[in-house]
Amino acid sequence: MIFVDACFGKKTPYTPVWMMRQAGRYLPEYMAVRAQAGDFLSLCKDPQKACEVTLQPVDILGVDAAILFSDILVVPLEMGMELKFLQGEGPIFSNPIKNQADLDKLSVQKAVEGLEYVYETIRLIRGKLAADKALIGFCGAPWTLATYMIEGQGTKTYAQVKKLIYTNPQFMHALLKKVTEVLKLYMERQIQSGTDVVMIFDSWAAALEESAYFEFSWSYMKEISSYLKAKYPHIPVILFPKGISGYLDKIDGDFDVFAVDWSTPIELAQEKLGHKYVLQGNMEPTRLYSQDAIDEGIEHIVSVMKNKRHIFNLGHGILPDVPVENAKYFIKQVQTLTKI
């Protein structure tokens, strides 16, 4: 598989390319399946439909890897939290974690077993996906999940969760450790079900100052990746901490690919980390609104990363109103312009 080879830094005939959120709302085919499912969470829990939307961008765009269609928040849901996705508001937990008693109610084993619909989706995808296309499994980082679990929803201030970091760090670590144990087993089950690569998303990494980031987030991402690499060395691990360009000097750990967000200059990432890890990214997602902007973005990244270890991607997820033709154009241009 060209994508797996690239994750391990091997020479490939061109730079493989995929997009975060590539199975999503910009595709009319996705919207049709979602309408049949009824709502977002029902789609995540329906292996047949989740399989179908996972495969859509492979067939429509020609990307080099499929990424499992699911959501990072199914983990706290199956641990015992009450989750709803409300139109215009996003995910809401009606029972956010406030104290040790709330944490004690959450079950590691219940979550791992309750996520069977994800494993079934993976088995279905791997049975239908072309043998030369990789399937990426994923989870949210413990810090990002814990933030949702404490705040109860998305946040701009992180007031509740950051308050706990500085007033009750022992409790924060207890929560993060419990989530980490779930994620180790969850990722392991994804691998056993058929994923070829796994990725950990830390969407809210930038909320933390440097010392807090490495204590409360990066250390737990490293723990998960080390656990997986020790047991499954043939499975590449991708880590994506969004918005930490100022901390790159201190990044270390047993993983294979560092995903670079769009706000981090690719030159800086290559200088600081390119000798240690394959880099993934990092075109600005809104460039996909213009084919001229796509060309300019690709040319810049290729000028920096040519003959270096690289996987092409956006620096965050594709947006819902991007024209499908532009997404196709992006994929084809990368595959054409990076041919050896």
C-beta of residue 325 within 8 angstroms of C-beta of residue 334: no
Residue of 39, 71, 254, 295 marked active site: 71
Residue of 30, 34, 189, 261 marked active site: 34
Active site residue 25: yes
DSSP one-letter code for 71: -
Separation of CA 237 from chain center:
11
Element (H, E) at 228: helix 219-231
Residue of 14, 25, 117, 254 marked active site: 25
Place of tokens 């490939």: 12
Active site residue 158: no
Whole-number Å distance between alpha carbons of 145 and 152? 10
Q: Which residue in 18, 75, 20 sits closest to 190, CA to CA? A: 75
Residue of 148, 213, 220, 277 marked active site: 148
Active site residue 249: no
DSSP H helices, 19-168, are 28-37, 40-44, 47-61, 74-79, 100-104, 108-114, 116-128, 142-151, 159-167
3-class SS of residue 90 = strand
The tokens describing 45, both together, are 């829990």
In terms of Cβ atoms closer than 10 Å to its own Cβ (0-12, 13-18, 19+), residue 185 is: middle
Q: Which residue in 55, 305, 207, 247 sits closest to 313, CA to CA? A: 305
Catalytic residues: 21, 25, 34, 71, 148
